[in-house]
């Protein structure tokens, strides 16, 4: 008998079975988007082989699972093909990643006993890979760093190819390691940088330019919660830089890379390890893992179905009001299969795969939205505080998350995308985002209640994921 798959999403990237986490190697190459990701096919709990899975898409809406791309079959990645990035050259596509090794013995696996190596594979067609090349090992990194140096991001700047790596020092401070190369084969240390107040590890670094603004992004681990900041055990976000990261002085970086100016990408329970890439028409797209490591809440219902975790929807970034806004890529509107009728007298919608738009006639108002009897999303027009709250165990242990509107006056609009067990909320044209897993008892439809007489448009979203 086949397992029940009632919670499996229809329009989010997910594993065919097993465990999915960090997106890697997101890139447009040869008329197609390639999204690689960390993948444990053997268990929905993440045990067993740690590989790279592979999805492709012609349009950022319809995705096809292409199978496992990279297996942990080399002495320097034998315990896992970990996070990395893609780089397009005149000769083809190059994939850089961290090869994980755990040596047997009585080690702490922080300062001793672990290998984090940078490996590379090449491909001309995006599917068939070359032999693995080892570019860097722990012995090639500065001696004050722990074994945890990982997640290479490749970019070109000032005539050099650079590699930005997340790092943990031997005395457990989080930082960044910047390396450079002329030929992408031989790498030298350019600088290491450790800010004062970003916990014990900076994971999954990214670096890009949008509308002329330099942006560095990463995932700090070990930063204490401060009211509505850093509410998850591990968080992810970005900072603006005034100049190129390779040219900036340590004094400039120390001034600009700090917790005070760090802006989080998402304030929900399930968002981590995002990666950005560029479309052929120049848009900057962000996609993340709809999960967080080491959390006290879970995904029991999807685990029972034999799989765990999804990607977030691809999000288009824009620079406005001194911050980055994010909204689902405009192409997603093509996935709307039909418009559903809704009014306050007939609140039920006969679908759990929905794209809902709520609009106020003026800015500065409040919002109280309730889904079924178990989830509320509110915006207080006076305090400008937005809150996502689970009222019972349909959150599988999730409780409440909040964030403050700082660039606008109260509620103006919201885009709410529900995909069976996934919910992504974008507030005020993408100023704030909340991503969470959600397990409603009713798998056939939901009730939507909005206190104010706002304009509401509801669309059902069709299947966009192909898993053969």
Residue 18 has pLDDT above 90, yes or no: yes
Using CA atoms, how far apart are residues 292 and 220, in angstroms rounded to an integer?
A: 12
**pTM exceeds cut of 0.85:** yes
Using CA atoms, how far apart are residues 413 and 398, in angstroms rounded to an integer?
A: 25
Residue 412: phi and psi, rounded to 5, are -125, -45
Q: What angle do CA 278, 284, 287 make, to 5 degrees?
A: 90
Cα 377–chain centre separation: 22
Least confident window among 2-11, 59-68, 78-87: 2-11
Residue pair 136/117 in contact by the 8 Å Cβ criterion: yes
Contacts of 175 (CB under 8 A, 6+ apart): 167, 168, 169, 192, 193, 194, 195, 198, 202
Output the pLDDT for position 24: 97
**Exposed/middle/buried for residue 336 (C-beta within 10 Å: 0-12, 13-18, 19+):** middle
* Residue 229 CB neighbour total at 10 angstroms: 18
Write b or e for each residue in 74-110: b if 16 or more Cβ atoms lie within 10 A of its Cβ, otherwise e: bebbebbbbbbbbbeeeeebbbbbbbbbeeeeeeeee
Q: What angle do CA 258, 181, 86 make, to 5 degrees?
A: 75
Output the pLDDT for position 8: 97
Q: What is the mean pLDDT of residues 133-148?
A: 98
Among residues 364, 461, 467, 465, the alpha carbon closest in space to that of 415 is found at 461
Contacts of 343 (CB under 8 A, 6+ apart): none
Residue-wise pLDDT for 367-424, tens only, equals 999 999 999 999 999 999 999 999 988 999 999 999 999 998 899 999 999 999 999 9
DSSP 310: -
The answer to whether residue 22 is catalytic is yes
Contacts of 108 (CB under 8 A, 6+ apart): none
- In DSSP terms, 10 is beta-bridged to none
Q: If pLDDT is split at 50, 70 and 90, which confidence band does 174 have?
A: very high
- In DSSP terms, 96 is beta-bridged to 85, 120
Q: If pLDDT is split at 50, 70 and 90, which confidence band does 342 have?
A: confident
Using CA atoms, how far apart are residues 220 and 175, in angstroms rounded to an integer?
A: 9
DSSP 333: G
Output the pLDDT for position 159: 95
Q: Which of the following is catalytic: 22, 151, 270, 355?
A: 22
Q: What's the chain's length in residues?
A: 468
Residue 274 has pLDDT above 80, yes or no: yes
Residue 351 is encoded by which pair of tokens? 């679908």
Output the pLDDT for position 2: 63
Residue-wise pLDDT for 43-56, tens only, equals 999 999 999 999 99
Q: Average per-residue pLDDT in the chain? A: 96
- Top-confidence residue, 221 or 363: 221
Residue pair 420/10 in contact by the 8 Å Cβ criterion: yes
Residue 288: phi and psi, rounded to 5, are -130, 175
- In DSSP terms, 339 is beta-bridged to 459
Contacts of 118 (CB under 8 A, 6+ apart): 84, 96, 97, 98, 99, 134, 135, 136, 152, 163, 165
R_g of the chain, CA atoms, integer Å: 22
């Amino acid at each position: 008998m086949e397992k029940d798959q009632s919670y499996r999403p229809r329009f989010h990237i997910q594993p065919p079975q097993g465990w999915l986490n960090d997106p890697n190697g997101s890139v447009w190459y040869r008329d197609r988007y390639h999204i690689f990701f960390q993948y444990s096919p053997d268990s929905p709990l993440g045990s067993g082989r740690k590989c790279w899975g592979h999805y492709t898409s012609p349009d950022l809406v319809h995705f096809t699972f292409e199978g496992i791309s990279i297996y942990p079959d080399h002495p320097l990645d034998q315990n896992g093909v970990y996070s990395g990035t893609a780089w397009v050259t005149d000769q083809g596509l190059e994939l850089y990643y961290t090869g994980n090794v755990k040596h047997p013995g009585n080690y702490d696996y922080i300062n001793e006993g672990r290998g984090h190596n940078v490996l590379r594979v090449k491909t001309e067609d995006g599917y068939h890979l070359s032999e693995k090349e080892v570019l860097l090992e722990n012995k090639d990194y500065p001696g004050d760093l722990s074994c945890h140096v990982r997640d290479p991001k490749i970019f070109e700047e000032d005539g050099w190819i650079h590699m930005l790596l997340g790092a943990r020092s031997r005395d457990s401070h989080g930082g960044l390691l910047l390396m450079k190369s002329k030929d992408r084969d031989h790498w030298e240390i350019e600088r290491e940088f450790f800010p004062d107040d970003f916990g014990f590890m900076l994971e999954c670094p990214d670096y890009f330019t949008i509308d002329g603004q330099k942006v560095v992004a990463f995932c700090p681990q070990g930063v204490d919660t401060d009211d509505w900041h850093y509410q998850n055990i591990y968080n992810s976000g970005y900072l603006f830089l005034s100049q190129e990261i390779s040219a900036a002085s340590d004094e400039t970086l120390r001034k600009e890379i700090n917790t005070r100016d760090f802006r989080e990408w998402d304030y929900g329970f399930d968002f981590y390890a995002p990666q950005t890439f560029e479309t052929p028409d120049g848009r900057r797209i962000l996609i993340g893992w709809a999960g967080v490591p080491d959390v006290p809440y879970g995904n029991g219902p999807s685990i029972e179905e034999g799989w765990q975790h999804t990607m977030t929807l691809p999000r288009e970034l824009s620079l406005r009001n001194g911050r980055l806004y994010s909204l689902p890529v405009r192409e997603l509107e093509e996935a709307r299969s039909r418009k559903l009728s809704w009014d306050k007298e007939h609140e039920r919608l006969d679908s759990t795969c929905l794209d809902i738009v709520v609009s106020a006639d003026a800015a500065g108002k409040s919002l109280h939205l309730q889904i079924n009897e178990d989830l509320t999303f509110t915006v207080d027009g006076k305090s400008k505080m937005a809150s996502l709250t689970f009222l019972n165990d349909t959150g599988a242990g999730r409780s409440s998350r909040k964030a403050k509107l700082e660039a606008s006056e109260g509620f103006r609009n919201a885009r709410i995308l529900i995909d069976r067990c996934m919910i992504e909320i974008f507030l005020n044209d993408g100023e704030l985002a909340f991503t969470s897993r959600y397990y409603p008892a009713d798998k056939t439809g939901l009730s939507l209640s909005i206190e104010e007489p706002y304009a509401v448009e509801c669309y059902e979203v069709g299947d966009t994921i192909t898993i053969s």
